[in-house]
Structure 1
Amino acid sequence: MDLLSLIGLVLALVALIGGSVLKGAGISGLWSPAAFVIVILGTLAAILLQTPIASFKRALGMVRWVLFPPPSAREELLAQIVEWAQITRKQGLLGLESLVRQQEDPFIQKGLQMLVDGMEPDAIRQMLEVEIDALEHRETAAAKVFEGMGIYAPTLGIIGAVLGLMAVMKNLSDPSKLGHGIAAAFTATIYGIGAANLMFLPIANKLKAVIAGRIGEREMLVEGMIAIAQGENPRNIEARLAGYLH
């Protein structure tokens, strides 16, 4: 579990609820069904209009990474790459053939198969980088779903506030309703700005950081496979790729 994300979520709730209590509005002041409908459902409607269904589904699948990011496997990958280089040094590239089917990751399978087939290093790099670019584009598009929600939510909060003030203006003849009506109007603004800055935008940025880490692992694999294809010494490969561990 990502402890920092968990602490951040808890502190966000404490900031909103604690701030409302300390300011005298109370916890009940944060609840407004009308604001929820306008801001949260409105934000969801806007993002559904903007987002292809594949990206939206991927975003829902990735959101768990905020608390449970995929574990980094760079050290294990480096050890694997060095092992492949040692096998190649002793048995040649065909020595990797028995390892191709053992790989669960299709990306690694494809790279090893190209090594076994004796493809030129430049061709291997070009084909694998296409895979990396496609993965990065797909994952980033999913992360931008939450970024888009962070952009729309404050604007919808303002819309909710304006609608609330319009309702207040209709009751100017009854002063007893003005205070409650104005407070309810500004609750929508809190929903919009709070959701954007304490949830949607931080989630988007956290997912982008996780994606960058996954892309870095792929780039390390490519560099390792290219080095193997070029016949480099396993120790030199290990020393070169050690930079990816930091």
Structure 2
Amino acid sequence: MIAEGLYMDIATIIGFTVCMVALIGSIVTSADIIIFYDLPSALLVGLGVIGGTFIKWPMEVLKDAGKYCMKMIFFTPADPVETINEIGKLAETARRESVFALEKVPIEDAFLKKAMALAADNRPPEVISSILQLEIDAMAGRHKTGADFMDGVADSGPAFGMLGTLIGLVIMLQNLSDPSSIGPAMAVAILTTLYGSIISNVFAIPMKNKLSVRSSDEVLKMNIIIAGTLGIVAGENPRLIKEKLNSFLPPSQRSLDGMEGDGAAAGGGAEKGKE
């Protein structure tokens, strides 16, 4: 953890390092690394990707490009187990005191805090669900924009690499009578494809996938909060609420820890008696 609630994604660092070691290592052990550098090829692919991205997206999206990249490395984890345990404690508070007491409970998560405030305001369940679902949809839309942005970069890299290949082939075919020009022309033709592939497969596609995973985790946590809030509003037993919320998780992650024992167990026994 590098700051309060902010963590560094070690997997991203390891993956990027392994990719670069594989690329550079394969080059260094087989040839002189300088032959893999060609300024015209780098300019064509690099500036082409940047220019194409500017054409595709408005400035409101482009100004967040750095933020999308930073989310690859730094993130706030969406821990569903911790969320379920916290909702279980809030359900105990609502059962022991009243749903109105939830407004006084200190809650760090902004979405959970909003959900408990709506519950404490005695809003109808359908209104609570509608308001919170709208927020999930808006957040998912923003996250999709980030993933689509990286997807566009992933498409542009190989596309401009292919353009460079065609340019290099044209130059080579026009100068077949001059053997000294064939080498530089072939370098442009081949290296642009290499550069475009690196941009796409080492950077853009992993970024897109990582952003999509982060978004899915966040949406899962928020759906858990909605289900838990509706259970609290309905006056369900805290243990039953946790059992329902655990259904969102794979069996290996499910837990009933964090309940306040006797009251919950008694309530659970009452529920079984009703069955």
Q: TM-score if structure 2 supplies the norm length?
A: 0.81
The answer to whether the 8 Å contact 1:165/1:185 transfers is yes
- What residue number does 1:195 align with? 199
Is 1:61–2:62 an aligned residue pair?
no
- What residue number does 1:51 align with? 57
Amino acid across the alignment from 1:17 = I
Is 1:118–2:122 an aligned residue pair?
yes
Q: TM-score if structure 1 supplies the norm length?
A: 0.90
The answer to whether the 8 Å contact 1:63/1:207 transfers is no
**Unpaired runs of at least 5, structure 2:** 1-7, 254-275
Judging changes above 3 Å, is the alpha-carbon distance between structure 1 residues 222 and 58 closer, same or farther for their aligned structure 2 residues? farther
The root-mean-square deviation of aligned C-alpha atoms, in Å, is 1.9
Q: Which of 106, 111, 135 is the equivalent residue of 1:107?
A: 111
- What residue number does 2:21 align with? 14
Deviation of 1:169 after TM superposition, in Å, equals 3.4
Is 1:163–2:167 an aligned residue pair?
yes
The answer to whether the 8 Å contact 2:38/2:187 transfers is no
Structure 1 CA distance, aligned partners of 2:236 and 2:65? Answer: 40
The structure carrying a bigger helix percent of its residues is 1
3-state SS of the aligned residue for 2:82?
A: helix
Q: More displaced, 146-155 or 88-97? A: 88-97
Deviation of 1:136 after TM superposition, in Å, equals 0.4
Q: Once the two structures are aligned, what percentage of the paired residues are identical?
A: 30
Deviation of 1:43 after TM superposition, in Å, equals 1.0
- What residue number does 2:101 align with? 95
Could you give the per-residue CA deviations for residues 197-243 of structure 1, whole angstroms, max 9, x where no partner exists? 22211110111111111111111111110110111101111122224
Amino acid across the alignment from 1:6 = I
Q: More displaced, 235-244 or 215-224? A: 235-244
The answer to whether the 8 Å contact 1:160/1:188 transfers is yes
Total equivalences in the alignment: 243
Judging changes above 3 Å, is the alpha-carbon distance between structure 1 residues 48 and 105 closer, same or farther for their aligned structure 2 residues? farther
3-state SS of the aligned residue for 2:74?
A: coil
Judging changes above 3 Å, is the alpha-carbon distance between structure 1 residues 28 and 6 closer, same or farther for their aligned structure 2 residues? same
- What residue number does 1:154 align with? 158
**Unpaired runs of at least 5, structure 1:** none
Amino acid across the alignment from 1:217 = K
Structure 2 CA distance, aligned partners of 1:213 and 1:54? Answer: 25
Amino acid across the alignment from 1:35 = S
- What residue number does 1:27 align with? 33
Structure 2 CA distance, aligned partners of 1:222 and 1:75? Answer: 15
Structure 2 CA distance, aligned partners of 1:53 and 1:118? Answer: 42
3-state SS of the aligned residue for 2:78?
A: coil
Deviation of 1:185 after TM superposition, in Å, equals 2.2
Q: More displaced, 64-73 or 38-47? A: 64-73
Is 1:132–2:136 an aligned residue pair?
yes
Structure 2 CA distance, aligned partners of 1:77 and 1:210? Answer: 16
Judging changes above 3 Å, is the alpha-carbon distance between structure 1 residues 79 and 133 closer, same or farther for their aligned structure 2 residues? same
Q: More displaced, 202-211 or 65-74? A: 65-74
The answer to whether the 8 Å contact 2:136/2:219 transfers is yes
Choose between structure 1 and 2 for higher RCO, CA contacts under 8 A separated by at least 6 residues: 1
Q: More displaced, 54-63 or 152-161? A: 54-63
Structure 2 CA distance, aligned partners of 1:104 and 1:190? Answer: 46
Structure 2 CA distance, aligned partners of 1:71 and 1:164? Answer: 46
The answer to whether the 8 Å contact 1:39/1:191 transfers is yes
Q: Which of 221, 230, 234 is the equivalent residue of 2:234?
A: 230
Structure 1 CA distance, aligned partners of 2:73 and 2:219? Answer: 19
Deviation of 1:164 after TM superposition, in Å, equals 2.1
The answer to whether the 8 Å contact 1:81/1:224 transfers is yes
The answer to whether the 8 Å contact 1:56/1:142 transfers is no
Judging changes above 3 Å, is the alpha-carbon distance between structure 1 residues 57 and 213 closer, same or farther for their aligned structure 2 residues? farther
Deviation of 1:23 after TM superposition, in Å, equals 4.6
Amino acid across the alignment from 2:16 = L
The answer to whether the 8 Å contact 2:161/2:193 transfers is yes
